[in-house]
Amino acid sequence: KATEQLTEMSQWFFDCKQAKKDGTQPPRRPRFCKKQPRVVFDWEKNYVPRKQTEPPLPVSKPAQQHTPNPYVYDALASPRVVEARKKRPSLETSQFGDLRTTWTQPADLYPRGFPYFVRGRDSARSYISELFQTRITMYDGAMGTMIQKHKLEEDAFRAERFKDYDMLIKGNNDLLSITQPQIIKDIYKKYLVEGGSQLIGTNTFSSTTIAQADYKMEDLVYELNYDSARLAREACDEVTKMDPTKPRFVVGAIGPTNRTASISPDVNDPTARNCTFDELVEAYYEQCVGLVDGGADILIVETIFDTLNAKAAVYAVNEFLEDAGIDIPLFISGTLVDQSGRTLSGQTGEGFYASIRHAKPMCVGLNCALGASAMAPFLKRLSDCAECFVHVYSNAGLPNAMGGYDDTPADMARENVVFAKNGWVNMMGGCCGSTPPHIKAIYEACKDFAPRPLPTLGPPQMWLSGLEDFKIGPDTYNNCGLPFVNVGERCNIAGSRKFKRLIMEGKYPELMDIAKDQVEAGAHVVDINVDDGMLDGLAAMQKFVKMAVTEPDVSRVPFMIDSSKFDIVLAGLKWNQGKAIVNSISLKVGEELFIEHATLLRKHGAAVVVMAFDEQGQAATKEDKVRICKRSYDILVNEPVCFPPEDIIFDPNILTIGTGIEEHNAYGVDFIDACKTIKEICPWCKISGGVSNLSFGFRGANVIRESIHAVFLTEAAKSSGMDMGIVNAAEMLALKDVEEDLLEMCTDAVMNRTDKATEQLTEMSQWFFDCKQAKKDGTQPPRRPRFCKKQPRVVFDWEKNYVPRKQTEPPLPVSKPAQQHTPNPYVYDALASPRVVEARKKRPSLETSQFGDLRTTWTQPADLYPRGFPYFVRGRDSARSYISELFQTRITMYDGAMGTMIQKHKLEEDAFRAERFKDYDMLIKGNNDLLSITQPQIIKDIYKKYLVEGGSQLIGTNTFSSTTIAQADYKMEDLVYELNYDSARLAREACDEVTKMDPTKPRFVVGAIGPTNRTASISPDVNDPTARNCTFDELVEAYYEQCVGLVDGGADILIVETIFDTLNAKAAVYAVNEFLEDAGIDIPLFISGTLVDQSGRTLSGQTGEGFYASIRHAKPMCVGLNCALGASAMAPFLKRLSDCAECFVHVYSNAGLPNAMGGYDDTPADMARENVVFAKNGWVNMMGGCCGSTPPHIKAIYEACKDFAPRPLPTLGPPQMWLSGLEDFKIGPDTYNNCGLPFVNVGERCNIAGSRKFKRLIMEGKYPELMDIAKDQVEAGAHVVDINVDDGMLDGLAAMQKFVKMAVTEPDVSRVPFMIDSSKFDIVLAGLKWNQGKAIVNSISLKVGEELFIEHATLLRKHGAAVVVMAFDEQGQAATKEDKVRICKRSYDILVNEPVCFPPEDIIFDPNILTIGTGIEEHNAYGVDFIDACKTIKEICPWCKISGGVSNLSFGFRGANVIRESIHAVFLTEAAKSSGMDMGIVNAAEMLALKDVEEDLLEMCTDAVMNRTDKATEQLT
């Protein structure tokens, strides 16, 4: 291709010069891309080229097994055979004394083995294979030339039988087999005896109903074929008898007819045709019946000038052979009409061969049209490509002026010998002008040359064709240098609005221009799809294809006939002479119809696209794509279909990424991964797909779409073996042409490397639209969003050496009892903590209590039950250890709804009051928790129903609202201890009674801590987003009191449940852990969130992952979801929680969604069916029910799920800082900022010291405007928002609280984590207590002394915050590298060890970024000192982070923003890439990537930051 490419490039230079002269737009530069390597699969590497001993075999069993043709046709009962035989003449009319159709010979007629042949005993296929490899075999010569020598007139053609025929019939040579049989038989014998032919063709060139219609002799077709074949049979048998070592064979000749299916007979209408494919098939089938009935050994489809006719003929032949259940070798002979080397319908010899290759002809070749010398180059090309035997029978030169042929036998022999000499042929003969002497002369000239050897078979290749052939193999590349086939999409209604409009308007000539443009632009194949509800697709497909095949610039390439309707596909195929691809079939129609469709397409020789659909629908996941494609492959390549594997193209469904729906993000990488697996397990198959589907979410933004495609195709084609796809070839980009920032974003999106990819591309997409609009409006275009190529980061030894750890239990809380698995003694009498004592002041008196004692000791005798799992004894065994083993042994059942069961009792006000509250001064019906006091038997009975009938092993206490906050609605705050104690004690008694019945299944009391009826994150006042009706401290106090009652009552486990506001949950877990610390015991903690709708978020706006990240510091033993949604709606969110949780996971869903009356309609069977998905997918360790569920529901879930294994604990990866706002944010190896650095941008603009505007607005109390500043930061690329309100003129405590309370209600702000920033610890703490996410606190340090430092750090750990530790100590701020390292290491050692036990991954050191460029010499090293210290600190403090206030560095150049941001770019690139700096307080909107820094500034800033020269400050100044 080199010369062609250079010529094209040369022409482009000339065209550019001309365009410059003319003042016109220069043409687009031709694109030639470097070829990319492709993945090679094992089945390719291991393929061993195969030496053929015979040509490729047809798929039929008789052919595959070389079953001899029995030559007994009497009993053939196929309807089509029967129909053809209806045209048999009567015995009175026929020239023969019988109409026999049996030609078998006695098995002992001749000796066994080559060179002898006996019909019925020997396989003609095997014999011809040996014959053609033994010697060049002679075919006969021209029948017409020999007939002309008899100079027959009209009466000779008519004879007696047709003497009164009503039209002239002279010239109907085939009729002579009936009217002059002796002449015909004599000609046969002359070729056999004089010419030395071993195979002779029957006189049936025009013996089809189509050709005989010219003489109105359609009804004679059977007789013409039968008689001609029978005469040849007799002649061959008579001559064979003379020399049985040279058996003679009858070749049933099937001519092209006198009509063409590919060429219009009307110059004004290129879509007109005078015959159809089906008419041709019918005519050829009828001819086959006559020829075979007459005794033909072989069939030859000859003189093919239109390959579509040949395809119809081979289709008919193979249909007949299938109906007859026999094997007859098929030869096919094409005719190239002139020196172009093409058929009349425009195909090259190679294109012709590729089009009919599916028929597995035994021999293929050329005949007629040209003399031998003119044929030579084309025969060579055919010989070079054909996998079977090759023949030639040329004319005796070119016709003279009179239409005769002048070549003598010697001339013809001389011209033909080149074929034999070069080893191009296995069979030779003559066509027009040749006679027996010509054949004899050729034989004599060629007899000493060896026949053409069968070629060694290379690996299977898809071999398509239009007018030209197209092999898809290792050397197939597209215009972007990819090993990929471009299937042009623009002739697809779904791929081009212009195409759709034109086809709707019926403008077919204009449609051809679209097709031509595609081919010119680089489409290897043209996709044709006309599926539209407003269009007659059948008619449109046929018209388009019929016109397209007459346009050489279109039809030179293969077509993809594309429709969801199989009849349209078939209609398109039947007008296409090339080997096309059909798009598509699939298993969605069921296996039976799938097999039928596939078999039909194989018979037509089409390659096929198989969609990854089955009876259940479309494959979306990698697993389903692979499963469906493998199943389809196994059906296709095996019997009965026997589809060539190289002609199978799987389309595993390219689905749209970037939709905003999280599960769609993996569609690109799932396709790529599936592609590779499918190719690995389905040898020789191809993979395709509709590439534009991938980027459909960005329609209108073509640059983005094509960039996405470039990334996707490069990865899919190079690494996973994707072979082809439907694309817009003209618009395709090579990877090298994709803009740098788009390349990074698109790679993120396609490979699903980050969940920010869609957001970034959407922003970029909007920018393109805004630029278009600006151009229209004549305004300044907006600034381009910035996304830079990701820079590598330094990796420290402790990262490299980390070994992922298989968990045997969930992560443990930091307390010693938890760490050491110390059994809870269940002895609480002596608890003396002031808060415990305070809570117990609300104990009822013995006279008031329902119980005869108020015991707080629940220990059991150590020998009560045997030691070891599954037994459990309180005080002896660790509940934590037991639950760990239980939850890893089986999915454990929790209980169901308490409220639903209470409702079944239909209790009225008096039942709630009972005797004790009969005179209470307000209505208390609905206070279900009170029933533990007033109706204890009902509550205990419900507990026991869940334990016994439901099979629950853990039951929750009836204490959902048993806090002072919730009970305030009933003015029953003083009952809180009693409510919790009584409910827990009733549950304790019920569990112990049921455990006693079966000690191998101990039952556990789970103390239920509800969300209260207030929220700390949501304002109750629509006019004031900072209003709240409870505080964090109030929640902590209420929850602490509840814990005391629950534990005193005998609870084994505590669960914080139905969390719709994570700040409430954080208060609850703070209270629980405070209580456990005060009590010095270990009680497992479960936490259960509630996602309120299909957004998958809590009422306070957090995602499931954000919720988990916010409470993860509490080290819950089990986390999960409950309430709000039915099981089916919960599934995607539970999966996501299961994917991220490091501990056990539970679910207890509602019994469906509430009906109009607020009830729940799901039956136990319904609920079990919906819940089983959780168990089946291995997402859970504990299951139960929430609203609407009852013991039968729990039992049904248990029965449905009992055989599934529980969710295994995940392997723990390296520690990561895991922050959250409304969404979670993990800081790890894949965290990058908008400059491509491995760096977290902490936005500085909500910091009084970082923004004058912020300072002015907060001083003025304009909080809504402050939110706009915060939003702008997040939009500009801040991962975290820094909040600092430290100013002597401001009430920092009030300002911090107000700002945070408002910010958490703004989703565009609070979706990211906050950095609560103050030098005053009380302000930090106040901010933390209004933030539901996991925040960073900035800062603490040793300057307050070690004792207070430890106190601060411990408090922050309890709140779950990450912490910035300044490099200050009692002596002051660290300025030198050595001091920075020393103070940070000392701080680290204090923090990670007891008593603080701070997670090292949550420690952020700020080693003080100090100002350079001040003119003071010792300041010059501050930049490089920080960078060096940063690296050392990271090396010696595993998993810590490094941060700093970046603007400090350049403070000496304030006012010169370009210089400042250039200094920052140099500093951050060096610090982040080489030294591991993780984050910093920056102005994200103004940051520069290193590549954006001007060249001279880059040099100067590097000098300054790295202190390379003492002139740096002067230059920058």
Q: What is the pLDDT of residues 1055-1086, one digit of tens each?
A: 999 999 999 999 999 999 999 999 999 999 99
- Put simply, whether the predicted model's pTM sits higher than 0.85 gets the answer no
pLDDT of residue 2: 82
1516 confidence band (pLDDT: 50, 70, 90): confident
CA-based nearest residue to 54, from 360, 450, 513: 360
User: Which tokens go with 1250?
Assistant: 């970082």
| Owner of token pair 């009503």 | 166
**Percentage of the chain lying above the pLDDT 90 cut:** 84
User: Residue 1171: what pLDDT?
Assistant: 94
Q: In what order do the strands lie in the sheet with 1336-1340?
A: 1441-1442, 1403-1406, 1362-1366, 1336-1340, 1314-1317, 1280-1284, 1240-1243, 1479-1482
Q: How confident is the model at residue 5 (pLDDT cuts 50, 70, 90)?
A: confident
Return the pLDDT at 1456: 87
pLDDT of residue 1322: 96
Task: Identify any residues that bridge with 1085 across adjacent strands, giving them in sequence order.
Answer: 1054
DSSP letter at 193? I
- For residue 452, the Cα-to-chain-centroid distance in whole angstroms is 48
**How long a stretch of residues is the chain?**
1517
pLDDT at residue 1124 is higher than 80: no
First to last CA, the chain: 58
How far CA 913 is from CA of 929, 963, 978, 1116, in Å, comes to 12, 19, 15, 37
Instruction: Look at residue 28 in the predicted model and tell me its pLDDT.
Output: 75
Q: What is the pLDDT of the chain when averaged over all its residues?
A: 94
Contact 328, 297 (CB under 8 A): yes
Q: What is the pLDDT of residues 292-345, one digit of tens each?
A: 999 999 999 999 999 999 999 999 999 999 999 999 999 999 999 888 889 988
Distance CA 584, CA 764 (A): 35
Q: Answer yes or no: are the C-beta atoms of 366 and 379 closer than 8 Å.
A: yes
Q: Give the whole-angstrom CA distance, residue 633 versus residue 43.
A: 15
- pLDDT for res 182: 97
pLDDT at 894 over 80: yes
Q: Which of 343, 370, 338, 337 is nearest to 355 (CA)?
A: 343
Looking at residue 25, its pLDDT comes to 84
Q: What is the pLDDT of residue 1126?
A: 78
Is residue 166 classed exposed, middle or buried when 0-12, 13-18 and 19+ CB atoms within 10 A define those classes? exposed
Nearest residue to 1178 (alpha-carbon basis) of 1199, 1194, 1201: 1201
Are 368 and 303 contacting, i.e. CB atoms less than 8 angstroms apart? yes
Q: pLDDT value at position 991?
A: 98
pLDDT tops 90 at residue 846:
yes
The C-alpha atoms of residue 1460 and residue 1450 are separated, in whole angstroms, by: 5
What integer pLDDT is reported at residue 51 of this predicted model? 92
- 1417 pLDDT tier (thresholds 50, 70, 90): confident
**Who wins on pLDDT, 1251 or 554?**
554
Task: Flag whether pLDDT at 989 surpasses 80.
Answer: yes
CA 1147 distance to own-chain centroid: 29
Instruction: Write the pLDDT tens digit of every residue in 344-379.
Output: 888 999 999 999 999 999 999 999 877 788 899 999
Which pLDDT belongs to residue 1123? 87
Angle between helices 1191-1201 and 1164-1176 (to 10 degrees): 40
| Coil vs helix vs strand at 348 | strand
The amino acid at 418: V
Tell me what pLDDT residue 1387 has: 97
Average pLDDT over residues 1136-1146: 96
The predicted-structure confidence for 692-719, as pLDDT tens digits, reads as follows: 999 998 988 899 999 999 999 999 999 9
pLDDT tens for each residue of 1187-1214: 999 999 999 999 999 999 999 999 999 9
d(CA 366, CA 379): 7
Q: What is the pLDDT of residue 565?
A: 95
Give residue 894's Cα distance to chain centre. 37
